[in-house]
Copies of this chain bind each other. A is one copy, B any other.
Amino acid sequence: MGLLGRYTFQLQPQDGDFMEQLFAYSLGDYILQAAGKNADDNGFGVRELNRENYTWVLIRMGTEILQMPTIYQQITIETWIESIRFASTTRNFTVRNEQNEPIGYATTNWAMIDVETRKPVDLAKLPSLTHYIGGNPIPVESTVKLPSVDGTPINRHKVQYSDIDFNRHVNSMKYLQWVLNEYSIDWFAEHAIKRFDINFLHEALYGEEVMLFRHAKEDKDQFQISRFVDEEPLCKVQIKWKKNE
């Protein structure tokens, strides 16, 4: 396999919202699926790493959307590793429509952790990884460290069966779904997501209660999801909106 993986997905009706546009969290699912496929293809996927008792953990994600695709379309996601540092890698993505035009970009940071100790692993321990550095940046801002958001919680949610994935924790994109559910369909009819950023701090588990905080700034909304019982921050999300023309 080369440095760059290309994966095509057929968008399903259940991936789309009331305007037939892909839910932003479904787009995120496909992006993460492309990352998993590319790591598998290059021999450092989760199943391979589990034999060494290591696993990948997503730390940050930034996604810019030029044009949200609609259901029944196909999208192709290109992905490659831009760089490796001591404890994390940067993996980039270009999302293309059926005409092969770029309709979105994403950049992600991943750490490798020891499954037992949950501590980061020095990525130099996986020398084969360096063969796969593509170097190619994408034409959007890197991932960002999001600020804390507190105050009065705007909502609470108890983690349910449908939130939990095969990693036995809340699926990464469910946090984004919870945040987007704070907006009305009238808002979605008039606005589009320009960019969403997510920082993943700690995993939420089945049955846990979480609370949602929100801070509206001029051109963006910032959210924090914290565990209810000890107020531990689990996830931060920032959404930049643009008004539809």
> A206 CA to B183 CA in the complex, in Å?
12
Chain A 10-36 interface 0/1 with B at a Cβ cutoff of 8 Å (1 = within): 101110111110010110010001001
A117: chain B residues at CB < 8 Å are: none
Q: Beyond A14-B173, A29-B12, is A184–B165 a contact (Cβ under 8 Å)?
A: no
Q: Beyond A13-B36, A33-B13, A36-B13, is A162–B18 a contact (Cβ under 8 Å)?
A: no
Contact A164 B185 (CB under 8 A): yes
A10: chain B residues at CB < 8 Å are: 10
Contact A161 B181 (CB under 8 A): yes
A33: chain B residues at CB < 8 Å are: 12-14
A16: chain B residues at CB < 8 Å are: 165-166
Contact A171 B14 (CB under 8 A): yes
Interface on A for B, CB 8 Å cutoff? 10, 12-14, 16-20, 23, 25-26, 29, 33, 36, 71, 160-162, 164-166, 168, 171, 173, 177, 180-181, 183-185, 188, 206-207
> A188 CA to B163 CA in the complex, in Å?
14
The answer, among B160, B188, B206, for a CB contact under 8 Å with A161, is B188
Assuming A13-B29, A18-B164, what are 16 further A-B pairs, CB within 8 angstroms? Answer: A13-B165, A13-B166, A14-B33, A16-B166, A17-B164, A17-B165, A18-B166, A20-B166, A160-B181, A161-B181, A161-B183, A161-B184, A161-B185, A161-B188, A164-B185, A184-B206
A161: chain B residues at CB < 8 Å are: 17-18, 180-181, 183-185, 188
A97: shortest Cβ distance to chain B, in Å?
19
A13: chain B residues at CB < 8 Å are: 29, 33, 36, 165-166
A162: shortest Cβ distance to chain B, in Å?
5
Which chain B residue shows the least CB distance to A173?
Answer: B14
A181: shortest Cβ distance to chain B, in Å?
4
